[in-house]
Amino acid sequence: MEHKELESLYKKLTRQAAETAMELHDLTEELPGAYQRIEEVAQKAIRKHQEWAKAKEAFEKAQSS
């Protein structure tokens, strides 16, 4: 993957990870009523942050090359 593509992916996943973090925050304001959604939203946030971490590592590696 080219540097520009890595940068674009990294920025996209940064935004998406922030959005899932905000979903978690919003969910806390809906508790205890929305407790059924905790696992679903948490799993989504975990997956997105894992993708972000991989993209960050690849982007930083490309920058240092």
Give pLDDT, residue 62: 92
For residues 1-29, average pLDDT: 96
Where do the domains of the chain lie? 3-25+37-64
Helix 38-64 with 3-30: angle, nearest 10 deg: 160
Q: Taking 90 as the threshold, does the pLDDT of residue 1 lie above it?
A: no
Write the DSSP symbol of residue 61.
Answer: H
Give pLDDT, residue 37: 97
Task: Tell me the per-residue pLDDT of 24-60, one tens digit each, with 9 for 90 and over.
Answer: 999 999 999 999 999 999 999 999 999 999 999 999 9
More confidently predicted of 54 and 2: 54
From residue 19, give the alpha-carbon distance in Å to each of 1, 15, 25, 26, 61.
25, 6, 10, 10, 25
